[in-house]
């Protein structure tokens, strides 16, 4: 996964890029708990139990406020704690690391020693 996390409702309620969605939900009369219930059907943390691939690499940004770290960690736990690589970037600035990310993905796919413990 790249720059991913779980708990869609949490991201809507706490992420910096989803304020207008949160405002619309509040105006429509939904609170956080109700939003969480609605979004369960697409919550990656709930769907993680259906994941058949056990060898995964998560790539995330240390300073990502679009996908807050706690929601990345929720998904990491739900997926069984796969290898995770943190880049010194935020969500959008991850584009500055696209070559490094691509290299890490290729290394991972080819079973590079750096990722053997996955």
Helix (H, G, I), strand (E, B) or coil at 57: strand
Asked if the structure places residue 79 within a domain, the reply is: yes
Radius of gyration, CA atoms only, the chain: 16
In a domain, 89, yes or no: yes
Residue 118 has pLDDT above 60, yes or no: no
- What's the rounded Cα separation, in Å, for the pair 1 and 53? 12
Asked whether the beta carbons of 88 and 59 are under 8 A apart, the reply is no
- Examine residue 3 and state whether it is found in any structural domain, yes or no: no
* Predicted TM-score of the model (pTM): 0.85
Question: Which residues form the domain of 101?
Answer: 8-115
22-53 pLDDT per residue, tens? 999 999 999 999 999 999 999 999 999 888 88
Query: Does any domain span residue 2?
Result: no
Helices (H) and strands (E) in the chain, counts: 6, 2
Measured between alpha carbons, how far is 69 from 62 in angstroms, rounded to an integer?
7
Q: Is it the case that residue 117 has pLDDT exceeding 70?
A: no
Q: Name the domain count of the chain.
A: 1
pLDDT at 88: 97
Q: What pLDDT shows up at residue 108?
A: 93
Does residue 114 register a pLDDT over 90?
no
């Amino acid at each position: 996964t790249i720059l991913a996390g779980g708990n869609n409702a949490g991201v809507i309620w706490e992420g910096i890029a989803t304020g207008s969605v949160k405002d619309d939900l509040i105006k429509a009369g939904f609170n956080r708990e109700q939003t969480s219930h609605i979004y369960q059907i697409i919550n990656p943390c709930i769907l993680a139990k259906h994941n058949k691939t056990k060898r995964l690499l998560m790539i995330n940004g240390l300073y990502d406020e679009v996908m807050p770290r706690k929601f990345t960690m929720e998904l990491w736990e739900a997926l069984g704690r796969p290898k995770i690589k943190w880049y010194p970037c935020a969500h959008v600035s991850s584009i500055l690391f696209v070559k490094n990310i691509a290299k890490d993905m290729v290394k991972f796919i080819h079973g590079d020693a750096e990722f053997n413990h996955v």
